[in-house]
A and B are shown apart, each in its own frame.
Chain A
Amino acid sequence: MIDLAPILAKFPPVKHDAAANALIVPQALALEVAKWLRDDPAYRMDYASNVAGVDTLPVEKKTKVKQPDGTDKEIVTKKPGSMEVVYHLYSMALKHGPITIKQVTTRENPVVTSLTPIYRGAEFQEREAFDLYGIQFEGHPDLRRILMWDEFKDFPMRKDYVEPDDYEYEPTPHDAVLAKAKAHYPKASTSTEAAS
């Protein structure tokens, strides 16, 4: 486990997420923190191993709390959704790691700072996060779609992505596929039902 205290002392806006043992870095500071981590002789985090986008939908949780007078009171806790980009940094020079860096942004307007100017290795993975999550990376030299084709509009890895209605006939539809099948073949029940 790497001591993260010096980073937190040097960059006060950086927060520590104890549950994931990650650093939450504000966008404005991301480049500076990454550059410092790469060049500081005690850390030498010269290798950005993994870059991943994470999408979290807003949650509404209803909990019933017993009041002192005996009645139940419903408390609604709302957790806002978020879009995160997670970087796992390792050191090839000192052979230690990882330090996890997170940039958190909103789902409505996801913009983060690209770390490609510091770590070339983040280039394709940031493009992938842009492609599948629609996260804009400011400062990325070549932000294009990478896995989906250029004309594709939506962002398929988002949790609220609705897949296009392109049902293809299959003999054993069930569950969600069955609902789709019925929309396309309203009369024809599934062959399995017909067979039975």
Chain B
Amino acid sequence: MLGIGILKGMVVTAKNFFGSFVNKRLLPTIQYPEAGNSVTLFSRNIPFLVYDNDEDPLGTMRCVACKICEKECPPQCIYIVMEKDANGKPAKRPKVFDIDISVCMGCQICVEVCPFESIKMDSTFELSTPDRFEGLLLKREHLLKSNTYFHKIHPDEAQEVDDRLAAKQKKPAPTPSTPAA
């Protein structure tokens, strides 16, 4: 009979409508600002620079300004200038480390290519600024975040990284270690 198919469809819709009051699966909507966010363990947004000691962020940052990430970054959003000491010798840490987050696409390539575990992905997403240019340019000071913070947002990955670094320290590695302040 004509119309049976439509009525069947209506029954399904009604089931979903009334079911959504009792079944969580039928109503997965989150009331966002009140109910919090749904950031999962691996979610990534923009990169940040890791430092080890909370008292001395600039001194214990892991970045050695090797510029591999700058070279590999697909949209070219990273800009690094290496710091030089009084004698003009490279100091193996960045004087300038800028990320233009209006260009960054959060692809995580910089994290993958970094040999010093110094750049990692942040999961923060509630960012806003009224300034289109300078406000979207994150400088070294904005980007520096502690290892404790890294442990907070991505615990498994941070533990893995710590283990890897500890193993590297035990071996007399030829790679340059983080310079002391």
Contact = CB atoms under 8 A, between A and B. Distances in A.
A/B contact in complex, CB under 8 angstroms = yes
A172 B96 CA distance: 11
Contact of B96 (A169, A170, A195): A195
A114 B112 CA distance: 44
B32 interface: no
Nearest to B83: A196
A191 B134 contact: yes
A174 B71 CA distance: 11
Nearest to B134: A171
Interface stretch (B33-41, B54-62, B74-82, B117-125): B74-82
Interface residues of B, number: 15
B15 to A, nearest CB: 43
A172 B81 contact: no
Contact of B139 (A169, A174, A177, A195): A195
Nearest to A173: B79
Given A191-B134, A191-B137, A172 B95 contact: no
A195 B141 CA distance: 12
A169 B95 CA distance: 23
Interface residues of A, number: 11
Interface in A140-187: 169-172, 174-175, 177
A175 to B, nearest CB: 7
B95 A196 contact: yes
Nearest to B100: A172
B81 A169 contact: no
Interface of A: 169-172, 174-175, 177, 191-192, 195-196
Interface of B: 70, 76-77, 79, 81, 95-96, 98, 100, 103, 133-134, 136-137, 139
23 contacts: A169-B133, A170-B103, A170-B133, A171-B100, A171-B133, A171-B134, A171-B136, A172-B79, A172-B98, A172-B100, A172-B103, A174-B70, A174-B76, A174-B79, A191-B133, A191-B134, A192-B96, A192-B137, A195-B96, A195-B98, A195-B139, A196-B95, A196-B96
Task: Return the 5 tightest CB-CB contacts between A and B, nearest first.
Answer: A171-B137, A172-B79, A172-B100, A196-B96, A171-B133
